[in-house]
Amino acid sequence: MLQLNYKSGVPLCDQIVNGFIRMKALGLSKGGDQLPSVRALAVELCVNPNTIQKAYQILESSGVIYSVKGKGSFFSDDAASDIAVLRAVKKDFRTAVENAAELGITADELKAIVDEVCGRENGR
């Protein structure tokens, strides 16, 4: 399910949010699928339950998940959820491009990487 990198500079809460967004974007989870309880996920990932709760609040405010009192949290099945997922992916991509540019990678090099990833150079 989710895997955290405890040594990266990315806060654990952000990794959890991005992990669930990635699961939704890749189709590994669909609308109506239930997320683990806060306590169960905290134990599984060895993190404070408050961190999980904060991640769930961010996901809910973004429209990626919704909560049902007494039942738990579930992936949203509406277009707003899909838009939120795409928005998050674009934000992550923009951040990666900004970081690469700060390290001196040129626009042409970035375009070549995008073309490679998208399969244009391989004739896909």
Q: Which domains does the chain have, with CATH numbers?
A: 12-118 (1.10.10.10)
Q: Which residues contact 117 (CB under 8 A, 6 or more apart)?
A: none
What's the predicted TM-score (pTM) here? 0.72
- pLDDT per position in the chain (124 positions), as tens? 788 999 988 899 999 998 998 888 888 888 899 999 999 999 999 999 999 999 999 999 988 999 999 999 999 987 677 787 788 788 888 988 999 999 999 999 999 999 988 886 555 5
